[in-house]
């Protein structure tokens, strides 16, 4: 796999990003490509490790280790090293419908479990995946593929995010007539509206949507099942249904002052900004960071995306409040390889804030006690307090306030980025779909069938908030089981 001695000869190398103070002035992607020679050298670092943990896709200590869609990573690394790019793309497409998406937005659990990474910097798997897909588009190797045979079966896919698009692509490949229902004005779900343009250019998302449409997938936007499309029509007008509605109920913060103006959910903010870019319209004043002190509550990718967006909108300052402790610089003893390394990282948003304002915007082990109002009933500041994590009588860690550490943070825009609780319930109630104790759809992974005959579920609405690559896993898996239900057997991978 790759060059037998490549991992000894070539150090890990990533492409440089665009200069920070340049890129925060626009919404273009900030990653820059490596040249072909450098990419082949990076692919050469893939070892003949014998047991490639990179594509195992398992959960260890509750965290993803390896690739959930089981990308054939050593195979396409070897092909890139040998300059066989088209063959590498073919291998990549066997497991991944949209590698240019995961190559940009996936946190790369594959790299966390790379065998080389046991005691050296791991192979640059994510960057190579993106490069293979991008070359495929540049060379014209990727094009719509209508199925050669039609089955006569009709399938409805509700939701056009990562899981929905994978399910639709696979079901159409099997020859079924596929209709995707999307309540927003554009298809793409999280890929279109939840991930900012500088991380995933919306032209790339639209390119895949156009390809699916050319292959025969029908997209119905502005169509919310249960509101302007009766749920019973899903069951009477289609032979099967795949629910991919996501986990869109945001986690709220129940403290004094929550009802003040200027406190918004992160996804509302990111969606409004992307719509502004696509339509060349200014975002609503309440969803603009221009000239404001911004506080983002919560970490993770969504929090980082809020920081990066606020900087580009011209905020006056930005602070990111995280209740958890700062991670260590290196793996802790209870976080061994091949687990995902829970270590301190500076993502693009924090890097940009530090370059602009002189410091990382994150403050750890901090929570919000209440929001403070101005004369107009809008938020003007937050009262925060430091916390320490201690075990309770049941042995569970709990945050305890540290007396005397209260601090007031100025803010005219507060963004809540604390994650999501599960799917919205209205449609599921109307269909009679059972939920589990976490409020997610009750359907076994690998089977994906709900309690309603012919109705399947995939992605965050079944799994809970998770990674885009897990949504790909579930969308493909639900399509496979839906095809088996319709045809008695299936050839879908």
Which parts of 144-215 are beta strand (E)?
A: 154-158, 177-181
Q: Pick from 418, 446, 473: which residue ends a domain?
A: 418
- Look up tokens 């659990």; give the residue: 109
Q: In angstroms, rounded to a whole number, what is the distance separating the alpha carbons of residues 102 and 131?
A: 11
pLDDT exceeds 80 at position 1: no
Q: In angstroms, rounded to a whole number, what is the distance separating the alpha carbons of residues 10 and 37?
A: 12
Q: In angstroms, rounded to a whole number, what is the distance separating the alpha carbons of residues 293 and 311?
A: 11
Residue 310 lies in a domain: yes
389, 258: one domain:
yes
Query: Residue 297's domain is classified under what CATH number?
Result: 3.50.50.60
Which parts of 57-190 are beta strand (E)?
A: 58-60, 63-65, 154-158, 177-181
pLDDT exceeds 80 at position 292: yes
pLDDT reported for residue 354: 98
Confidence of residue 218 (pLDDT cuts 50, 70, 90): very high
Q: How many domains does the chain have?
A: 3
Contact 188, 19 (CB under 8 A): no
Confidence of residue 2 (pLDDT cuts 50, 70, 90): confident
Question: Would residue 104 be called left, alpha or beta, if left means φ above 0 and alpha means ψ between -120 and 50 degrees?
Answer: alpha
358, 451: one domain:
no
pLDDT exceeds 80 at position 171: yes
Q: Which two tokens stand for residue 138?
A: 């540049």
Q: Pick from 76, 109, 138: which residue ends a domain?
A: 138
For 408, list phi and psi in degrees, rounded to 5: -100, 125
pLDDT tens figures, 403-424 = 999 999 999 999 999 999 999 9
For 173, list phi and psi in degrees, rounded to 5: -60, -35
Q: Mean of the per-residue pLDDT values for the chain?
A: 96
pLDDT reported for residue 227: 96
**Share in percent of the chain as helix, strand, coil (round to 5):** 35, 20, 45
Q: Which two tokens stand for residue 118?
A: 């046991």
pLDDT reported for residue 393: 87
414, 267: one domain:
yes
Q: What's the predicted TM-score (pTM) here?
A: 0.96
130, 274: one domain:
no
367, 448: one domain:
no
Q: In angstroms, rounded to a whole number, what is the distance separating the alpha carbons of residues 221 and 211?
A: 17
Q: Across residues 379-388, what is the average pLDDT?
A: 98
88, 214: one domain:
no
Q: Which two tokens stand for residue 249?
A: 């109920």
Q: Which two tokens stand for residue 261?
A: 């103006």
Q: Please name every residue paired with 416 in a beta bridge, in sequence order, or none if there are none.
A: 265, 297
- Classify 390 as helix, strand or coil: strand
23, 108: one domain:
yes
pLDDT reported for residue 71: 97
pLDDT reported for residue 62: 87
pLDDT tens figures, 236-276 = 999 999 999 999 999 999 999 999 999 999 999 999 999 99
Residue 149 lies in a domain: no
12, 98: one domain:
yes
Q: In angstroms, rounded to a whole number, what is the distance separating the alpha carbons of residues 320 and 302?
A: 11
**Domain span at 40:** 6-138
199, 320: one domain:
no
Q: Pick from 138, 166, 199: which residue ends a domain?
A: 138
pLDDT tens figures, 198-216 = 999 999 999 999 999 999 9
pLDDT reported for residue 196: 98
Residue 148 lies in a domain: no
Residue 493 lies in a domain: no
259, 401: one domain:
yes
> 277-304: string of b/e by CB count within 10 Å (b at 16+)?
eeeeeebeeebbbeebbbbbbbbebbbb
Q: In angstroms, rounded to a whole number, what is the distance separating the alpha carbons of residues 373 and 369?
A: 13
pLDDT exceeds 90 at position 73: yes
pLDDT tens figures, 43-66 = 999 988 988 999 899 999 888 999
pLDDT reported for residue 282: 85
Residue 147 lies in a domain: no
95, 25: one domain:
yes
Q: In angstroms, rounded to a whole number, what is the distance separating the alpha carbons of residues 401 and 327?
A: 20
pLDDT reported for residue 489: 97
pLDDT reported for residue 403: 96
Contacts 24+ apart (CB under 8 A), 3-10: 3/44, 3/45, 3/81, 4/48, 6/41, 6/44, 6/45, 6/46, 6/47, 6/81, 7/44, 7/45, 7/46, 7/47, 7/116, 7/120, 7/123, 9/44, 10/41, 10/42, 10/44, 10/45
- Classify 181 as helix, strand or coil: strand
Q: In angstroms, rounded to a whole number, what is the distance separating the alpha carbons of residues 344 and 201?
A: 27
Residue 492 lies in a domain: no
pLDDT reported for residue 472: 98
CA atoms within 13 A on the CB side of 459: 29
Confidence of residue 280 (pLDDT cuts 50, 70, 90): confident
The CA-atom distances, in angstroms, between 58 and each of 62, 69, 109, 436 are 9, 10, 10, 22
Residue 311 lies in a domain: yes
Residue whose C-alpha is closest to residue 77's, from 94, 92, 67, 64? 92
Q: Across residues 462-466, what is the average pLDDT?
A: 96
349, 440: one domain:
no
The H or E element that residue 355 is part of is helix 348-357
Query: Residue 18's domain is classified under what CATH number?
Result: 1.10.1060.10
pLDDT tens figures, 310-364 = 999 999 999 999 999 999 999 999 999 999 999 999 999 999 999 999 999 999 9
pLDDT reported for residue 283: 86
Residue 53 lies in a domain: yes
């Amino acid at each position: 796999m790759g060059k037998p001695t490549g991992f000894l000869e070539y150090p890990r190398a990533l492409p440089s990003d665009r200069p920070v103070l340049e890129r925060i002035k626009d919404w273009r992607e900030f990653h820059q490509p490596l040249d072909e020679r450098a990419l082949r050298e990076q692919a050469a670092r893939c070892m003949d490790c014998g047991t490639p943990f990179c594509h195992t896709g398992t959960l260890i200590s509750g965290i993803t280790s390896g690739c959930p869609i089981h990308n054939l990573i050593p195979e396409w690394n070897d092909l890139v090293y040998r300059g066989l790019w088209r063959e590498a793309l073919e291998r990549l497409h066997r497991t991944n419908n949209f590698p240019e998406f995961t190559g940009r937005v996936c946190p790369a659990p594959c790299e966390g479990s790379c065998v080389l990474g046991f005691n050296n910097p791991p192979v640059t798997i994510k960057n190579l995946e993106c490069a293979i897909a991008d070359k495929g588009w540049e060379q014209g190797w990727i094009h719509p593929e209508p199925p050669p045979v039609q089955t006569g079966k009709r399938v409805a896919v509700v939701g056009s995010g990562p899981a929905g698009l994978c399910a639709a692509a696979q079901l159409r490949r099997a020859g079924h007539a596929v209709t995707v229902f999307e309540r927003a004005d554009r298809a793409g779900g999280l890929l279109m509206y939840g991930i900012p343009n500088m991380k995933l250019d919306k032209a790339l998302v639209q390119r895949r949507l156009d390809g699916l449409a050319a292959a025969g997938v029908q997209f119905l936007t502005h169509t919310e099942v249960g509101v302007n499309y009766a749920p019973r029509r899903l069951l009477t007008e289609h032979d099967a249904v795949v629910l991919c509605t996501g986990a869109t109920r945001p986690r709220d913060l129940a403290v004094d002052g929550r009802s003040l103006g200027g406190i918004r959910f992160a996804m509302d903010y990111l969606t409004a900004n992307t719509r502004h870019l696509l339509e060349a319209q200014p975002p609503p004043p309440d969803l603009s960071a221009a000239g404001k002190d911004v506080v983002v509550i919560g970490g993770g990718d969504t929090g980082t995306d809020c920081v990066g967006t606020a900087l580009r909108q011209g905020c006056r300052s930005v602070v990111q409040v995280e209740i958890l402790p700062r991670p260590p610089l290196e793996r802790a003893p209870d976080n061994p390889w091949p687990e995902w390394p829970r270590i301190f990282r500076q993502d693009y948003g924090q890097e940009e804030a530090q370059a602009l304002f002189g410091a990382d915007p994150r403050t750890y082990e901090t929570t919000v006690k209440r929001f403070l109002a101005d004369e107009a009933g809008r938020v003007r500041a937050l009262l925060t307090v430091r916390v320490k994590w201690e075990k309770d009588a049941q042995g569970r860690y709990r945050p305890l306030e540290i007396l005397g550490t209260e601090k007031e943070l100025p803010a005219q825009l507060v963004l809540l980025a604390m994650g999501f609780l599960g799917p919205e319930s209205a449609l599921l109630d109307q269909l009679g779909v059972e939920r589990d104790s976490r409020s997610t759809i009750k359907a076994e992974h690998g089977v994906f069938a709900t309690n309603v005959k012919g109705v399947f579920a995939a992605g965050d609405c079944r799994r809970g908030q998770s990674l885009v690559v897990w949504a790909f896993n579930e969308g493909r898996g639900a399509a496979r089981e839906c095809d088996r239900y319709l045809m008695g057997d299936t050839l879908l991978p």
